[in-house]
């Protein structure tokens, strides 16, 4: 059980690596060699094309705006065989930038976003990831950041470092031949939708995302590259604009753009299908109106999206509910509380109450007994002495607390799963009553 988890014993084999951290940026208009080699190592790890020359300079300039910091693990005192990448190439990569997370009640919590984690196949399982993430989380904690986040390539890697799955996204297929019939046609026809150049989406992206982010529980900040990805102007492996992405904008009653969808044909699919690249709806009515537009695409029988929320108003707006098919639900945002009092005090509560919890953290940052007292929806969270004077009523790991933070799972479910322990009967339900919010968290950001 995770509350009994211990820091694993480090492999006694020598660790012939040095971790070096540097900003991703241009120096006198050029990409520094260490950034170029680091990017090539990232591309190796993700089986992607490595951007070079002007493309790499564009990526670095965008990441400079994000304040992205890169870490590489470099071989020290070890020769590399002739012909192989030399020690100036990192054998492992890691990066972070800092944005914020919408934790409800209009609060945006600073968050440390981890990405670009790769370890060269020939250096795997020697503790490099453990060294990089332990060092980095300790530095983020020391810098006063209360929460770390990532999106995981595999679900088995990050729990041991205190991360827990905190939001999910769904892949959906919506049958659209003949249009989507809505229970309330007027609800799906608010404002107007019109076709636009994708460049307009590129230019408006940050403004519209800021509105969506501020209004969406569970939303995490987007990095600068996103406006290019959303508008088909480039991504990490190519800055070549895509020719087959189309855009439609939603205008509110005052004629202001308050949402957009970008989409492209999925050429291999039958029936003829378009795939949503990005959909942001900031204004009331924009979401259904954009789906109404997608449903009206002639010659198209299906629309797919791989970032749909778990609770999707579209499913309930459609007259033929079964024309909305959820084909996959996957964990998306993984959170890792670094500072329990700061994180728990930041989010809103709908019920008042008091509870004491014990949190176990394999890396120590969130360990302890904490008393949570909620009065009129605001929590005061106090670290308690661990001298036996305060008895915790519920014991859990930081991974479990991080999964409950935005409501991805309840304490009752984790109790049934053997992942938390009631020291006092009925406390799991009391904790759930305290944490419950009427909305489901959803993040529209891949990073």
Task: Find the binding residues for ligand ACO in span 316-355 (CB under 6 A).
Answer: none
In whole angstroms, give the CA distance from residue 374 to residue 383: 15
Q: Could you say whether residue 390 binds ligand ACO (CB under 6 A)?
A: no
* 125 assigned ligand-binding residue: yes
Q: Could you say whether residue 152 binds ligand ACO (CB under 6 A)?
A: yes
* 430 assigned ligand-binding residue: no
In the bound complex, what is the minimum distance in angstroms from residue 445's beta carbon to ligand ACO? 13
In the bound complex, what is the minimum distance in angstroms from residue 157's beta carbon to ligand ACO? 5
State which residue, 152 or 392, has the beta carbon closest to ligand ACO. Answer: 152
* 193 assigned ligand-binding residue: no
Task: Find the binding residues for ligand ACO in span 5-34 (CB under 6 A).
Answer: 8
State which residue, 45 or 364, has the beta carbon closest to ligand ACO. Answer: 45
Q: Are 233 and 241 in contact (CB under 8 A)?
A: yes
Set 17, 260, 263, 447: catalytic member: 447
CB-side exposure of 87: number of CA atoms within 13 Å? 12
* 390 assigned ligand-binding residue: no
Set 89, 158, 236, 263: catalytic member: 158
* 18 assigned ligand-binding residue: no
Task: Find the binding residues for ligand ACO in span 69-128 (CB under 6 A).
Answer: 114-119, 124-128
* 169 assigned ligand-binding residue: no
Q: Could you say whether residue 45 binds ligand ACO (CB under 6 A)?
A: yes
In the bound complex, what is the minimum distance in angstroms from residue 39's beta carbon to ligand ACO? 14
In the bound complex, what is the minimum distance in angstroms from residue 313's beta carbon to ligand ACO? 30
* 35 assigned ligand-binding residue: no
Q: Could you say whether residue 177 binds ligand ACO (CB under 6 A)?
A: no
CB-side exposure of 373: number of CA atoms within 13 Å? 5
Which residue of 68, 130, 213, 442 would you call a contact of ligand ACO, by CB under 6 A?
130
Q: Is 74 a catalytic residue?
A: no
State which residue, 31 or 116, has the beta carbon closest to ligand ACO. Answer: 116
Q: Pairing mode, if any, of strands 17-23 and 69-75?
A: antiparallel
Which residue of 49, 80, 107, 153 would you call a contact of ligand ACO, by CB under 6 A?
153
In the bound complex, what is the minimum distance in angstroms from residue 271's beta carbon to ligand ACO? 34
Which among 147-155, 178-186, 289-297, 335-343 is the span making contact with ligand ACO, rule CB under 6 A? 147-155
State which residue, 119 or 166, has the beta carbon closest to ligand ACO. Answer: 119
Q: Could you say whether residue 154 binds ligand ACO (CB under 6 A)?
A: yes
* 68 assigned ligand-binding residue: no
Count of residues of this chain found to bind ligand ACO when the rule CB under 6 A is applied = 22
Q: Is 46 a catalytic residue?
A: no
Cite the annotated binding site for acetyl-CoA by residue number. 117-119, 125-130, 153-154
The residue ranges that bind ligand ACO (CB under 6 A) are 8, 45, 114-119, 124-130, 150, 152-154, 156-157, 160
Cite the annotated binding site by residue number. 117-119, 125-130, 153-154
* Catalytically annotated residues: 158, 447
């Amino acid at each position: 059980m995770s509350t009994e988890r211990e820091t694993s014993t480090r492999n006694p084999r020598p660790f012939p690596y040095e971790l070096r951290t540097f900003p991703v940026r241009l120096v006198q208009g050029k990409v520094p060699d260490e950034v170029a080699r680091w990017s090539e190592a990232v591309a190796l790890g993700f089986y992607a094309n490595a951007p070079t020359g002007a493309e790499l300079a564009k990526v670095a300039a965008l990441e400079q705006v994000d304040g992205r910091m890169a870490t590489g693990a470099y071989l020290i005192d070890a020769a590399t065989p002739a012909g192989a990448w030399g020690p100036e190439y990192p054998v492992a990569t890691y990066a972070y930038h800092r944005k914020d997370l919408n934790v409800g009640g209009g609060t945006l919590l600073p968050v440390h976003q981890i990405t670009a984690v790769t370890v060269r196949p020939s250096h795997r399982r020697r503790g490099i990831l453990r060294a990089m993430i332990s060092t980095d989380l300790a530095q983020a904690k020391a810098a006063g950041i209360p929460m770390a986040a990532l999106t995981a390539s595999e679900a088995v890697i990050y729990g041991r470092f205190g991360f827990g799955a905190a939001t999910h996204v769904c892949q959906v297929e919506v049958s659209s031949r003949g249009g989507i019939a809505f229970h309330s046609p007027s609800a799906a026809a608010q404002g107007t939708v019109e076709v636009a150049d994708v460049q307009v989406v590129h230019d408006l992206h940050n403004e519209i995302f800021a509105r969506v982010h501020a209004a969406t529980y569970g939303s995490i900040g987007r990095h600068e590259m996103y406006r290019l990805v959303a508008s088909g102007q480039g991504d990490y492996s190519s800055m070549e604009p895509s020719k087959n992405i189309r855009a439609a904008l939603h205008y509110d009653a005052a004629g202001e753009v308050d949402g957009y969808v970008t989409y492209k044909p999925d050429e291999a699919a039958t029936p003829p299908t378009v795939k949503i690249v990005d959909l942001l709806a900031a204004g009331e009515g924009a979401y259904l109106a954009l789906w109404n537009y997608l449903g009206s695409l002639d010659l198209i029988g299906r629309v797919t999206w791989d970032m749909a929320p778990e609770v999707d108003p579209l499913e309930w707006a459609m007259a033929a509910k079964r024309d909305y098919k959820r084909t996959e639900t996957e964990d998306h945002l993984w959170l890792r509380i670094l500072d329990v009092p700061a994180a728990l005090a930041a989010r809103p509560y709908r019920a008042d109450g008091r509870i004491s919890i014990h949190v176990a953290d394999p890396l120590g940052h969130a360990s302890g007994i904490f008393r949570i007292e909620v009065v009129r929806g605001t929590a005061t969270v106090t670290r308690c002495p661990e001298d036996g004077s305060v008895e915790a009523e519920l014991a859990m790991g930081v991974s479990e607390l991080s999964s409950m933070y935005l409501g991805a799972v309840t304490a009752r479910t984790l109790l049934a799963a053997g992942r938390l322990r009631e020291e006092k009967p009925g406390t799991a339900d009391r904790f759930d009553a305290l944490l419950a919010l009427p909305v489901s968290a959803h993040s529209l950001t891949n990073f």
